[in-house]
Amino acid sequence: MTYCVGIRLNAGLVFLSDSRTNAGLDAISTFRKMMVYEQPGERFMVMLSAGNLSISQSVRELLQVEKVDNGTEAGLTIWNATSMFDATRVLGAAVRRVYEQDGAALKSAGVDFNASMIFGGQIKGEAMRLFLVYSAGNFIEATRETCFFQVGESKYGKPILDRVLTPATALDEAAKCALVSMDSTLKSNLSVGLPLDLLVYREGALQSEQIACLDDKNPYFQMIHGTWGQRLREVFESIDDPRWDGGDAAHPLMTPSSRYEPMRKIAKPSDRIV
């Protein structure tokens, strides 16, 4: 499995991915899930992939060819597309082509055609855009209301993203939030693992040098891992325990309610088993 997150902000884009593909007692392997497509000054795009590794690798290879005609204009590629929307159409067409080539064989072997991608970036003359591409090759775009996408094991890392991120969030703060989200996922799921790939893109730059690979010895990620766990415990311990008797508690647990109590049966002496 895997966990990847892409974030679109007013100031730029943040991408983070893990690198684990198998998890077990004796079967752990790593592959990069982040692919950067860059033509400095002209276009900058990033793809994060989750799901079946053979499918995502085949899609990557198809994006390198001269053209992908399945469902797109002849000759349209990610390198000559004039909008991120068209570049994402090329990616969707590549996914569909892999399905045409391998879908039947995978199905006969009992393997689901399972792959999803986060794809975002900027082409000169256009605003930044971020998309989530599904296994069928269709896609949706991030909005101000939904400024991030996740693929893979998303449930553990979603709460912090929901609580912190808005389009106005600063890039460094969003990168920190993404790392906390990843740390929460690593803590709860063995199928997600180090090293991590983190990329920050600033709006209008059309290139990025802020790309880092983080392993278990990375000092910043070690700090995130230790500090986040410690602060969570401190916040938890600072919250009052429930007071069942009410009394003078500032936040009593039991208050008058119009709801019925849970159904319960009180045993009578005659109901007891001798």
Q: Does the residue 96 lie in any domain?
A: yes
Place 175 in a pLDDT band, splitting at 50, 70 and 90. very high
3-state secondary structure (DSSP) of residue 129? strand
CA distance 89 to 129: 13
pLDDT (average), residues 26-48: 91
Q: Does the residue 50 lie in any domain?
A: yes
Q: Write out the residue range of the structural domain in which residue 133 sits.
A: 3-232
Residue 66 confidence (pLDDT) above 70: no
pLDDT tens digit sequence for 162-171: 999 999 999 9
Residue 69 confidence (pLDDT) above 60: no
Q: Are 141 and 131 in contact (CB under 8 A)?
A: yes
- How high is the mean pLDDT of the chain? 91
Q: Are 68 and 137 in contact (CB under 8 A)?
A: no
Q: Does the residue 224 lie in any domain?
A: yes
Which is higher by pLDDT, 262 or 172? 172
pLDDT tens digit sequence for 125-145: 999 999 999 999 999 999 999
**Global confidence as pTM:** 0.91
CATH number, position 149: 3.60.20.10
Q: Does the residue 255 lie in any domain?
A: no
State how many domains the chain has: 1
Q: Does the residue 219 lie in any domain?
A: yes
pLDDT (average), residues 51-66: 87
Cis peptide before 167 (omega within 30 of 0): no
Paired tokens of 250: 């500032």
